[in-house]
Amino acid sequence: MVLVSAKEMIEKAHAGHYAIGQFNINNLEWTKAILAAAQEANSPVILGVSEGAAKYMCGFKTVVAMVKGIHDQMGITVPVAIHLDHGSFDGAKNAIEAGFTSVMFDGSHFPIEENIAKSKEIIEHAHSLGISVECEVGSIGGEEDGVVGAGEFADPQECKTISDLGVDFLAAGIGNIHGKYPANWPGLNFEVLGKIQELTEGKPLVLHGGSGIPAEQVAKAITLGVSKINVNTELQLEFAAATREYIMAGKDQESKGYDPRKLLAPGAKAIQTKVVAMMNQFGSANKA
Ligand code: 13P
């Protein structure tokens, strides 16, 4: 089976009141672990790739070839999309060219007129090739791979304008933050989220910064139209903790425990376990 656009899986999730997880990949271990989790949970999945991570993995073409190879070799049968996360205008075009099945164009740092014009161009180009598109209004707080946001709330009217361009799903800043949430974080703004869903007349919405949001807030966001949740930091923390535990226990010193296939195994297993748990939490398990 080939990789698919994220449109159908997200529209089904929106209609069924659950959300699809976008789990960002960083390397081969991440990709294997997330695909194994999706197959185990019988869930559709979106593999997220930031421009920084793509650069680290030697470019979009390498990423697409790696994902396709692993996908086919593992015999994955659940729907899988490969999606550019926070793409620039040129980045989105290059990812499409390299075979991504879904792209985010993040024009949220441009004046709204420019965001509209550029979003429109990417949407038209991607749709002519059957590729799904996410755009952003307002900004996600914090920093991810060099993409920095002040965290301002999205203007619901501007969300409607971008939504009306025919974007498939829309990321809107509602107080969410990339990375760890500070102890004094006020939480998601459900008033803004509700207004956006109302004005966009049921457009599937995307919740970025999905690591560390309390479960009841995630559940409420899903009832208000969130159908895609992005997770990156949480898996990095899981991988680091499991790897640290392995080394601190001295296991890298025992019976060739320094072999990378052994050294990286606990971290990969921890990612797989976490992704399965999140697919159950988001309600996408058994929806493949
Ligand atoms: P976290 O790293 O906070 O999970 O955010 C991921 C994200 O939103 C990717 O765009």
- Express each pLDDT in 126-160 by its tens digit: 999 999 999 999 888 777 777 777 778 999 999 99
In the reported structure, the alpha carbon of residue 245 is separated from the centroid of ligand 1 by a whole-number distance in angstroms of 24
105 forms bridges with which residues in the sheet?
87, 135
Looking at residue 147, its pLDDT comes to 76
Catalytically annotated residues: 85
Which DSSP helix (H) or strand (E) runs through 20?
Answer: strand 20-24
Looking at residue 145, its pLDDT comes to 78
In the reported structure, the alpha carbon of residue 256 is separated from the centroid of ligand 1 by a whole-number distance in angstroms of 35
CA dihedral 219, 222, 227, 230 (to 10 degrees): -40
The answer, yes or no, to whether any atom of ligand 1 lies below 6 A from the CB of 21, is no
Looking at residue 201, its pLDDT comes to 93
**Contact of 272 with 36, CB cutoff 8 Å:** yes
- Taking 70 as the pLDDT cut, the residues of the chain under it are 1
Which residues have CB under 8 Å from 195's CB, separation 6+? 156
Looking at residue 35, its pLDDT comes to 98
Phi, psi of 166 (to 5 degrees): 100, 15
The answer, yes or no, to whether any atom of ligand 1 lies below 6 A from the CB of 178, is yes
In the reported structure, the alpha carbon of residue 233 is separated from the centroid of ligand 1 by a whole-number distance in angstroms of 6
In the reported structure, the alpha carbon of residue 279 is separated from the centroid of ligand 1 by a whole-number distance in angstroms of 16
- Type of residue found at 13: A
Domains of the chain: 7-282 (3.20.20.70)
Task: Return the structure tokens found at 87.
Answer: 């793409």
Return d(Cα 169, Cα 77) in angstroms, integer: 24
- Type of residue found at 196: I
The answer, yes or no, to whether any atom of ligand 1 lies below 6 A from the CB of 108, is no
Looking at residue 261, its pLDDT comes to 97
User: What is the 8-class DSSP label of residue 177?
Assistant: B
Looking at residue 146, its pLDDT comes to 77
The answer, yes or no, to whether any atom of ligand 1 lies below 6 A from the CB of 209, is yes
Atom of ligand 1 nearest to the CA of 144: 2
Looking at residue 148, its pLDDT comes to 76
Looking at residue 1, its pLDDT comes to 56
Atom of ligand 1 nearest to the CA of 211: 4
The answer, yes or no, to whether any atom of ligand 1 lies below 6 A from the CB of 7, is no
Looking at residue 138, its pLDDT comes to 87
